[in-house]
Structure 1
Amino acid sequence: MRLVVTYDVSDDANRRQVYRTLERYGAWRQYSVFEVDVSKAERVELEDELEDQIDESDGDRVRIYRQCDSCLDHITDLGSDPPEEQSNVI
């Protein structure tokens, strides 16, 4: 399943952990936004990892959106090109 994951993490060390975790699962698209392609089991693992890496008392948040197959045909990028980072998202 394709997911869009956004995050707002205040602590630099925690934010780096979240970034590195998401990088293992998918592609960085813009500040605090990743696209990941995971199985149901991987989604559970990802959510568990992220939950351990954020501090709710600091106001940290992670938001996960599932993209349906028909939605993928309607993605529009405006502005500069997405980052040229290596992507493991198909």
Structure 2
Amino acid sequence: MFKSNNLLLGMVYGLIPPVLAWLIFAVWLKNDGMMMDKPAMPYLIAIGINLVLLRFSARAYLDKTSNGIMIATFACTLLIFILKIYR
């Protein structure tokens, strides 16, 4: 999976888990009427998955890819908490 050392590719890798979490939990399950007690939990799980991806890319010595994943993780985390505060 991690073969090229590229910042933009790392950002794409870092955005995949939060986007999938949003698609699954906010769109698909909300239409079924299923309500969760903790609505931020799927996004926090996606951030945890990003941290695992960050660990694998760091062990492969792909510094630019690791930086891209880290940037995407911090941006998604900040966006989630800002949206949860103002909702």
Answer 1 or 2: which has greater strand percent: 1
Greater share of residues in helix = 2
Q: Which band: TM-score by shorter chain? A: 0.3 to 0.5
TM superposition score normalised by structure 2: 0.36
Give the TM-score normalised by structure 1: 0.36
